[in-house]
Amino acid sequence: MPDLEVDVEGLERLVSSLAAIKDGLDHTRRVVDGTAADMGSADVARALDRFEDHWDDGRGRVSANIEGIVGGLQEAARAYRKADDDLASGLREGS
């Protein structure tokens, strides 16, 4: 039977990284709103605003997908950690 090895800390770091990406993605609207005056042209600012309005749907979908992935990774990390702890406890009790 092959060995199974899971980097639980790696899963937890991935959760943190994805959460940071989602947070940045969720705040892009504020970046656009805060920089409109710095665009140098009202046409550019309007075009960016229109793009941002259309991107809201896509951003929402990506954000929801990240939430789902994060939840699954957290659940997997907990399950692997519990299995490892249960195995270690069983080995201690058996010796």
* Tens-digit pLDDT profile for residues 23-65: 988 887 666 666 766 777 788 878 887 888 788 888 889 999 9
Q: What is the pLDDT of residue 85?
A: 92
Q: What is the pLDDT of residue 46?
A: 82
Please, which residues have CB within 8 angstroms of residue 39's CB and are 6 or more apart in sequence?
Answer: 45, 48
What residue spans define the domains of the chain? 11-94
Q: What is the pLDDT of residue 33?
A: 67
pTM: 0.71
